[in-house]
Structure 1
């Protein structure tokens, strides 16, 4: 009977060890992929005391372009396109998210729209980085427009990180996409900081001042209102970004972006047409922290605590089973000898 119990315990111990190994090598890697059915929370950033250009139509029908100061609010909403993702083939199949992204920037003080944009992007489910896909697009819309209107496939080539960092983010430099320059630039690891009780990696990106390309119509309109004596001008741009990333999930728990653009006419002083520092609003900060906390807790439970516990229990149970089997076998011959000696 003891031998049977020992064998059963040994088998149970091996099962626990096998489950622990399965959790680490099979279940957890599956969890370290962004699910298709997850819709990220809306991301809202605000910039108090921002300087920006406001283009609008006056009551008499004439256009007006002025430089204003006030609070800007920019909201980004994401809608996963699972049908498009399911149709991907080759190396993208099963490994790629397709997201429709909508952005709206408003002048809070006057409750007026400033900018609307939409885009489509393909992201790797593990690294969170943009991947090559011929359906990528970006479209600036008139503030009064809504819905998907004119986001033409191939109008942009996204690369690097945008909305996510990799699961198990490393202390290294990543490429992060600059939407103004439409290219990815280095984002450097700068240290560790704590946000809402969670350890994060701080990354920083600096975009040195450079000139931007402008179409002739936009340039003419800006000069007509902001530098009427000039005949031509250049547009300069510089920026800096700081991101605080929870490394286990790749969630961006803190965000700060500073942008400055100047119109530099050939006559007269430069005109600041955009100068703003954006950060998460309170609701966004709470939402991203909660999402990262839940994801981190699940990964720790299934990837560390549960496998470790099952491994320890499995080894102990298996050893106990072996001890029952071998102790029984060792005792049995001695009992036989004792019985023989007594009979003689």
Structure 2
């Protein structure tokens, strides 16, 4: 009986250890490991087979031009911390033949759990050394929910609401679709001075004009990882004379992330989702279930009913092995 109870104590100790370890993995290790990445080194491409842009060198509008966009993002591991990631982005817009249409760059920091912008780390946008972005930048939060999110627009220089619209499947991955709508957004860039003739005016003197943005931007987001699988931008930039006497299309294109990049993003998001299931569910269960079984077995061995009780003055071993007295005793 002593050996059986000793085995029970060992089983209870092992079971308690496994259950405690499972709780630690699920409640502490898993949340601390669930972070948006600080490291990043990738170029994503978007394109449109027919775009329109104003050629400022020739002072004429060009239509039906194939447009390519290259978006390069790099993580700064030196400035990033356990809580904040710092990325730099370069966006080059050009025609299929290599003529530059537009160019932007920015550096921004974001919270590695929520994806929200953090004002730090020498952020900038083009010539603006203190843009102070708000809302989501670069990445969406882990466990993205089907609700509206403020997403920072680097052209409008403010957060624009991206509203949840639907759940879809993209390259075998379940994604949530969100759409931003931009209406009459004044772009935060210096006014341009152009000859009045480009606005259809008779005088050739320079006319100051300001750029505005209209259209929609759609995001397909894998919710577990907060990874943007694909983006579609159907935007129109117009240049409007400040005195209201004319306007022209500065840029217009229906851009979409390349299928190769969307497929790659979907694969990465799928790997992250599988990893999160293993760390957050499979490992804790593989520890907790054997632990519970060991606890139950140990408790059963310790408190199993029916053990013979020794008489006063007898040892447990004597009582357990005592033969019954004869009937005439």
Tell me whether the two structures share a fold, i.e. TM-score over 0.5: yes
* Number of equivalenced pairs: 313
Gaps of 5+ in 1: 56-62, 87-93, 140-150
Match of 1:127 among 108, 114, 130: 114
What is the SS of the residue equivalent to 2:49? strand
Structure 2 residue aligned with 1:277: 254
Instruction: Measure, in 2, the Cα distance between the counterparts of 1:287 and 1:95.
Output: 26
Gaps of 5+ in 2: 311-316
Structure 2 residue aligned with 1:112: 99
What is the SS of the residue equivalent to 1:82? coil
Match of 1:251 among 201, 211, 227: 227
TM (normalized to structure 2)?
0.85
Q: Is the 8 A contact 1:20 1:306 kept in 2?
A: yes
Report the CA distance between 1:2 and its aligned residue.
Answer: 2.7
Instruction: Measure, in 1, the Cα distance between the counterparts of 2:178 and 2:147.
Output: 9
Q: Is the 8 A contact 1:264 1:271 kept in 2?
A: yes
Q: 1:29 to 1:322 in 2, by over 3 A?
A: same
Q: Write the deviation string for residues 74-113 of structure 1: whole angstroms up to 9, x where unpaired.
A: 1111222222235xxxxxxx311111222222211x1222
Q: 1:137 to 1:225 in 2, by over 3 A?
A: same
Q: Write the deviation string for residues 249-297 of structure 1: whole angstroms up to 9, x where unpaired.
A: 1011121111112234568764222111111102211221111111111
Structure 2 residue aligned with 1:31: 33
Structure 2 residue aligned with 1:73: 68
Q: 1:287 to 1:331 in 2, by over 3 A?
A: same
TM (normalized to structure 1)?
0.82
What is the SS of the residue equivalent to 2:114? coil
Structure 2 residue aligned with 1:192: 167
Instruction: Measure, in 1, the Cα distance between the counterparts of 2:227 and 2:244.
Output: 47
State which structure, 1 or 2, has the greater radius of gyration over its C-alpha atoms: 2
Q: Is the 8 A contact 1:167 1:248 kept in 2?
A: yes
Instruction: Measure, in 2, the Cα distance between the counterparts of 1:214 and 1:315.
Output: 64
Report the CA distance between 1:319 and its aligned residue.
Answer: 0.7
Report the CA distance between 1:206 and its aligned residue.
Answer: 0.9
Q: Write the deviation string for residues 277-320 of structure 1: whole angstroms up to 9, x where unpaired.
A: 11110221122111111111111111012212322221112111
**Is the counterpart of residue 11 in structure 1 residue 27 in structure 2?**
no
Q: Is the 8 A contact 1:260 1:272 kept in 2?
A: yes
Instruction: Measure, in 1, the Cα distance between the counterparts of 2:110 and 2:10.
Output: 48
Q: Write the deviation string for residues 7-66 of structure 1: whole angstroms up to 9, x where unpaired.
A: 222222112211211111111112211243x215322111221111233xxxxxxx4233
Report the CA distance between 1:182 and its aligned residue.
Answer: 0.6
Match of 1:333 among 305, 309, 320: 309
- Report the structure, 1 or 2, having the larger helix content: 1
RMSD: 2.6
Structure 2 residue aligned with 1:82: 77
Match of 1:100 among 54, 76, 88: 88
What is the SS of the residue equivalent to 1:64? coil
